[in-house]
C-alpha cells in the first residue's frame, strides 16, 4: 500500500511538473455560434486587436474583437474564403475566395467591399511584401498573382508547375519559397525578376502544405502529411537537414523566433510544439490535445498569442481558442 501511494504521488508530481512546463497555456475561448464547416486561414490587425478568420465551410469572414474577447462581425457573401491578409498602411483586408475565384478588398474601417477582383480561380494563400508594397496571391492550376493594393488590381503573375499552397517571403533576401504539393516540389522565386529560379523535390515526404521560415538560421520548415513529418531544409542549398514525426493532417505551421519553437496545428486533434536546439537539431516537446479537425491556427508575435480555430463537430461547437506561449 505504501509503495502504491508513493507511486501515485510520484505520478501526480510528474503530471504537475509536465503541466508547468507545457509550452502553451489556454487562456481564453471565444465562441462562434452558428458557424458550420471547416476553417481556413487567419490575419490579424495588431494595433486594432482584431482577428480575421476565414470560415470556409460557412462562407463567412469572422471578425474577432480580441480586447472584448468576442466575435464582433460575421461577414456573409464570401465563397469558400481561404486566405486572409490585413494591410495596416491602407487599412485594408484582402479575402481570397476559392469557390468563385475572387479576391475581395475590404475597407478596414467599416469592412465594406472596395474592390472585387475576379478571374482568380481557386484563390488561396496571401502574403505581403513590405519592401515593394505588393501582395502575393496563390491561385489557379499554378501561379502567384502580384496585387497592387494602391491600384487595387493585379499587376503581374508568376507561373508554377501546379497549385501553390503556403509560401514564405524572405525579409532580407529576395526569394519566395512556395509549396507545390501536386508537383512534389518547393518552387523558389526571385521576386524582383518575378521568375522561378529553382525547384527542390519533395519525393520522400509529400503533401507539403504548411510552411514557416527562420531566415536568420537559413532554415525552411515544411509540414508534410504523407507521411506526417516536419521537414527542415537549408535555404542555401535546398538540402534536408532534419525531419521528425508530427501529428496527422497539419495545415498551419509557425516559427516563434523568440523562443526557438515551432507550432503545428494538426487536424488529427493536436497542437505539436517542436523546439529548435540548433539549426540542425529539433525535438517535439509537446503534443497538446485540441479537437478533431482543428488544423488551422495563427501565431501573432506582436501580441504573443497563438489562435486556434476549432470547427463545429458533434457536441463541440465552433470556437477560437487563445493560447499564451510559456517560457
Q: Domains in the chain, ordered, with CATH?
A: 26-325 (2.130.10.10)
Q: Contact 217/279 with Cβ under 8 angstroms?
A: yes
E strand or H helix that includes residue 54: strand 50-55
What pLDDT, on the 0 to 100 scale, is given for residue 271? 98
Sheet holding 228-234, edge to edge: 206-214, 219-226, 228-234, 240-245
Sheet holding 113-117, edge to edge: 81-87, 92-97, 102-107, 113-117
What pLDDT, on the 0 to 100 scale, is given for residue 185? 98
What pLDDT, on the 0 to 100 scale, is given for residue 3? 45
What pLDDT, on the 0 to 100 scale, is given for residue 119? 96
What pLDDT, on the 0 to 100 scale, is given for residue 45? 98
Q: Contact 132/150 with Cβ under 8 angstroms?
A: no
Q: Give which of 279, 129, 248, 252 is closest to 179, Cα–Cα.
A: 252
What pLDDT, on the 0 to 100 scale, is given for residue 21? 72
What pLDDT, on the 0 to 100 scale, is given for residue 14? 36
Asked if the bond preceding 94 is cis, omega within 30° of 0, the reply is no
Q: Give which of 189, 193, 192, 229 is closest to 208, Cα–Cα.
A: 229
Dihedral Cα 190, 191, 194, 195, nearest 10 deg: 20
Q: How far is CA 316 from the centre of its chain?
A: 22
Spatial distance between the Cα atoms of 266 and 253, rounded to a whole number of angstroms:
9
Spatial distance between the Cα atoms of 312 and 327, rounded to a whole number of angstroms:
31
Q: Contact 167/211 with Cβ under 8 angstroms?
A: yes
Residue pLDDT tens, the chain, 327 long:
444 444 444 444 334 444 457 999 999 999 999 999 999 999 999 999 999 999 999 999 999 999 999 999 999 999 999 999 999 999 999 999 999 999 999 999 999 999 999 999 999 999 999 999 999 999 999 999 999 999 999 999 999 999 999 999 999 999 999 999 999 999 999 999 999 999 999 999 999 999 999 999 999 999 999 999 999 999 999 999 999 999 999 999 999 999 999 999 999 999 999 999 999 999 999 999 999 999 999 999 999 999 999 999 999 999 999 999 998
Amino acid at each position: 500500500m505504501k509503495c502504491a501511494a508513493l507511486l501515485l504521488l510520484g505520478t501526480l508530481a510528474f503530471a504537475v511538473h509536465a503541466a508547468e512546463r507545457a509550452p502553451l497555456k489556454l487562456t481564453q475561448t471565444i465562441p462562434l455560434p452558428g458557424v458550420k464547416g471547416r476553417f481556413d486561414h487567419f490575419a490579424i490587425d495588431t494595433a486594432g486587436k482584431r482577428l480575421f478568420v476565414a470560415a470556409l465551410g460557412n462562407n463567412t469572414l469572422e471578425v474577432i474583437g480580441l480586447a472584448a474577447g468576442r466575435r464582433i462581425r460575421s461577414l456573409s457573401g464570401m465563397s469558400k474564403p481561404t486566405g486572409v491578409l490585413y494591410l495596416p498602411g491602407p487599412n485594408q483586408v484582402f479575402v481570397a475566395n476559392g469557390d468563385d475565384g475572387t479576391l475581395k478588398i475590404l475597407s478596414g474601417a467599416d469592412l465594406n467591399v472596395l474592390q472585387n477582383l475576379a478571374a482568380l480561380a481557386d484563390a488561396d494563400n496571401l502574403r505581403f511584401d513590405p519592401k515593394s508594397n505588393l501582395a502575393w496571391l496563390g491561385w489557379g492550376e499554378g501561379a502567384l498573382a502580384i496585387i497592387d493594393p494602391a491600384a487595387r488590381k493585379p499587376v503581374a503573375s508568376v507561373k508554377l508547375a501546379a497549385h501553390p499552397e503556403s509560401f514564405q517571403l524572405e525579409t532580407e533576401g529576395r526569394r519566395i519559397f512556395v509549396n507545390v504539393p501536386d508537383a512534389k516540389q518547393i518552387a523558389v522565386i526571385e521576386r524582383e525578376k518575378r521568375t522561378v529560379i529553382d525547384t527542390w523535390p519533395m519525393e520522400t515526404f509529400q503533401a507539403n502544405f504548411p510552411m514557416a521560415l527562420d531566415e536568420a538560421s537559413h532554415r525552411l520548415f515544411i509540414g508534410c502529411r504523407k507521411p506526417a513529418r516536419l521537414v527542415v531544409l537549408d535555404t542555401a542549398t535546398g538540402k534536408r537537414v532534419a525531419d521528425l514525426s508530427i501529428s496527422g493532417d497539419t495545415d498551419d505551421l509557425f516559427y516563434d523566433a523568440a523562443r526557438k519553437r515551432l507550432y503545428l496545428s494538426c487536424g488529427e486533434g493536436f497542437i505539436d510544439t517542436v523546439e529548435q536546439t540548433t539549426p540542425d537539431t529539433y525535438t517535439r516537446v509537446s503534443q497538446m490535445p485540441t479537437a478533431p479537425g482543428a488544423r488551422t491556427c495563427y501565431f501573432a508575435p506582436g501580441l504573443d498569442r497563438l489562435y486556434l480555430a476549432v470547427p463545429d463537430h458533434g457536441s463541440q461547437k465552433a470556437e477560437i481558442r487563445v493560447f499564451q506561449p510559456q517560457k
